[in-house]
Amino acid sequence: MQINERFNYDIVIMGAGLAGLSAALTVAEQHPDLSVAVLSKVHPVRSHSGAAQGGINAAVAADDKWEDHYYDTLKGGWFLGDQDAVRILTEQAPQAIYNLDRWGAHFDRDEHGHFAQRPFGGQRRNRTCYVADKTGHALLNTLYEQAVRLNVDVFDEWFVFDLIHHGDEFLGLLAFANKTGTIGYFAAKTCLLATGGAGRIYGQSSNALINTGDGMALALRAGAALKDIEFFQIHPTGLPNGILITEGARGEGGYLINKDGERFMKKYAPQFMELAPRDLVARSIQREINEGRGFDDGCVRLDLRHLGAEKIKSKLPQIREIAMYFAGVDPIEQPIPVRPTVHYTMGGIDVDINCAAPIKGLFAAGETACVSVHGANRLGGNSLLDAMVFGIRSGETIPAYLHAADGPDRTGEEALLEAAMDRFNALFGDDGEDVPTLRREMERIMVASFGLFRNQALMEKGLAEMSALHRRYADVRVKSTDLVFNPELIRALELGFMLEVAHACALAAVDRRESRGSHYRDDFPTMDNAQFLRHSLVTRDAQGTLTLAYRDVTVTDTKPLDEIKY
């Protein structure tokens, strides 16, 4: 196979969720002279941003201050967030809301006509703007509408399989169109990676099936670092297929029970029971499962039956629907199977506060990136915000970069493309490793060794297993050479991306000998600022060898606490 079509753009954006689209809109509005292409492996409105329900944080109320949002975010992240980055996130948050409103978002309003705000965990006041319980969906569709208005070049259902760079200079992206099978080379002066998280490396994840860390892996392979990639947020209650059952079910009085019918939270949090902090509930559930008190399906049960049909129907209609449609269980009659589910990737591509990676012309924003703002644990309502603020910001910093820099030196580009196509073509063949088998093994290792309980022995075993598995990937072969909607090929490429991220996570996790936020170790149960108030940075050389390094957290004005208590 060879390249069939060539494109030239000033900016090519990979990913069309909140980050990618807000970047594209910002460029289109402010710099209509610049050409922008947005590539997405799905149609933009299918992006995972749309699954976010709760809302988006911003100090827009007259009596709120961004400084308070700033502190809540730092503390929620166990002070691993860079303070200059968190300042940008929180100070620019109102502008993101205003842009969304101007673009047509249907934000709920309060009785004074102001943006309505709801309370979310870890914040000292109501600060979360929302569109009913479908905020991400509404905002994603609003952004796509404006992309239609501004005639943004969207290449939907184009799958990016390689990033071309010459040393530390970005040159372009290689992609194929699912509908036609065309292979296109998108030569561009700059690239924004906005491909979302990598929660799919775990066997239990709330993430969309498309969240396979594509941008993270491409950046890592190109020489950029993955920062704090050992931090994955885990939600306590997901259905067996990972879909979230919100805290509201426990808020209304739902019980968590093990296979012996015991309300086991009385052992772990006798005072707060099911409403203890998220991480504690998650670990308690996992401990029950690990110690053999889960049900045969590897779950515990969330029992709502004692609430009665009437209350379930009036107070929890959404949760009832989710349980019926996605688990086949009516909570009026049966308890819901639940287990912890991986929810958010705090780490990501190491970029500076202008969203720039160390590779010239390469930028990243949103969950793909780690600026870093979420630190060791993300606050609810800050994920849509991160995507919006840094999406918009990259839409300003990339034009500034283009203004100051010459285009890349394209000497040797053809040879690089030839080598990339050789790598792509080598993926096809008859006998090789089976993709679903390897994927299941990766998912198993991540859950077993890098899940809610981590310790040296478990993680060393997991890292060794992951290295071995990663080597086996070299033998994966795809039988069908038809590029039109070829799920075998896509799943194989995605597995390659996921293994890069999973392997990097394993390496960084083993070495962080402390507990901080989502990274909980039973052998080092406390946080250790003296040694680990640092970002992990995993890089990869051309042979695929991973190296771990550290960088101090940026502290500007707020002294990190030595213990996090709520």
Residues in touch with another protein (CB under 8 A): 42-43, 45-48, 50-51, 97-99, 101-104, 106, 109, 112-114, 131-132, 134, 137-138, 141-142, 145-146, 148-149, 179, 181, 208-210, 239-241, 243, 322, 325-329, 337, 435-436, 479-480, 482, 484-488, 491
Nearer to another protein, 154 or 417 (CB): 154
CA atoms 11, 415, 351, 219: torsion sign: positive
CB of 51 to another protein, least distance (A): 5
Nearer to another protein, 150 or 448 (CB): 150
Nearest Cα to 339, choosing from 229, 206, 444?
Answer: 206
Burial of 412 (0-12, 13-18, 19+ CB in 10 A): exposed
CB of 67 to another protein, least distance (A): 21
The C-alpha atoms of residue 288 and residue 375 are separated, in whole angstroms, by: 28
Q: Are 413 and 166 in contact (CB under 8 A)?
A: yes
Q: Are 199 and 192 in contact (CB under 8 A)?
A: no
CB of 414 to another protein, least distance (A): 29
169: left (phi over 0), alpha (psi -120 to 50) or beta: beta
Alpha carbons within 13 A on the beta-carbon side of 411: 2
Instruction: Extract the tokens encoding 231.
Output: 């931090």
Instruction: Show Cβ contacts of residue 376 under 8 Å, excluding neighbours closer than 6 positions.
Output: 77, 78, 80, 228, 231, 346, 516, 517, 518, 519
Nearer to another protein, 98 or 272 (CB): 98
The C-alpha atoms of residue 222 and residue 199 are separated, in whole angstroms, by: 21
Per the listing, tokens 């003296």 go with 530
Which CA distances in Å does 501 have to 49, 207, 263, 494, 516? 20, 15, 37, 11, 20
CB of 106 to another protein, least distance (A): 5
Nearest Cα to 76, choosing from 509, 374, 389?
Answer: 374
CB of 146 to another protein, least distance (A): 6
Residue 482: strand, helix, or coil: coil
Nearer to another protein, 4 or 539 (CB): 4
CA atoms 454, 74, 94, 64: torsion sign: positive
CB of 47 to another protein, least distance (A): 8
Strand order in the sheet with 255-257: 232-238, 336-345, 300-303, 255-257
**DSSP string over 70-123:** HHHHHHHTTT-S-HHHHHHHHHSHHHHHHHHHHHT----B-TTSSBPEE--TT-
CB of 184 to another protein, least distance (A): 17
Nearer to another protein, 323 or 508 (CB): 323
Instruction: Extract the tokens encoding 340.
Output: 């912890």
Q: Are 301 and 335 in contact (CB under 8 A)?
A: yes
Q: Are 375 and 529 in contact (CB under 8 A)?
A: no
CB of 100 to another protein, least distance (A): 8
The C-alpha atoms of residue 263 and residue 559 are separated, in whole angstroms, by: 40
Nearer to another protein, 272 or 485 (CB): 485
CB of 149 to another protein, least distance (A): 4
Provide the CA 540 distance to its chain's centre, in angstroms: 21
Residue 192: strand, helix, or coil: strand
CB of 518 to another protein, least distance (A): 22
Per the listing, tokens 């597995």 go with 495
Annotation says 278 is catalytic: yes
Instruction: Show Cβ contacts of residue 149 under 8 Å, excluding neighbours closer than 6 positions.
Output: none
Nearer to another protein, 45 or 501 (CB): 45
Residue 255 DSSP class: E
Nearer to another protein, 108 or 352 (CB): 108
Nearer to another protein, 111 or 406 (CB): 111
Nearest Cα to 47, choosing from 194, 169, 162?
Answer: 194
Nearer to another protein, 490 or 509 (CB): 490
Catalytic residue among 200, 250, 278, 454: 278
- Residues classed as catalytic: 278
